Structure 1
Amino acid sequence: MARNKSLPKKLRLGKAKKISGNVPTWVVQKTKGKVRWTPHSRRHWRSQRIKS
C-alpha cells in the first residue's frame, strides 16, 4: 500500500481499527459470556481487504 494515503482511505482504515477492538467487559458479563466479540473483529488484515 502507498505510504501517502488519501483522506477517505485513512478514514476507512481508522474506522476499521476502532471496530475491530474487543467487546467491553460489562457486555460479556451481562450476556453471561455469550457475546465475546463482534463480527467486525473477526476480520483479518491479510485475508479480507477494506474497500478502497
Structure 2
Amino acid sequence: MGKKTVGVKRRLGKFLKQNRRAPIWVTIKTKREVVYSPKRRHWRSRKLKV
C-alpha cells in the first residue's frame, strides 16, 4: 500500500481494535464457553477488504 487515505486509516484502526482476545470477564461469565474472539485474525493469513 502506498499512501493511505483517511477512510482507509479509520477502517484499519477499527480492524486493529477488533483484533484482540476476548476479555477475561467474558470467559469467566460464560463459564469458558467463549474462549476466543471470532474476529481474531492473523495479518499474514487473512487479508482485509479495506
Normalising by structure 1, we get a TM-score of 0.79
Runs of at least 5 residues in structure 1 that lack an aligned partner in the other structure? none
Alignment of 1:35-46 (within 5 A): 35-41=34-40, 43-46=41-44
Q: Which runs of 5+ in 2 are unaligned?
A: none
Moved over 4 A (4+): none
Which has more helix, going by share of residues? Answer: 1
Q: How does 1:2-41 map to 2 (within 5 A)?
A: 2=2, 4-41=3-40
What percentage of residue pairs aligned between the two structures are identical?
Answer: 44
Aligned residue-pair number: 50
Q: In 1, distance between residues paired with 2:36 and 2:5?
A: 30
* In 1: Cα distance, 2:21 partner to 2:32 partner: 13
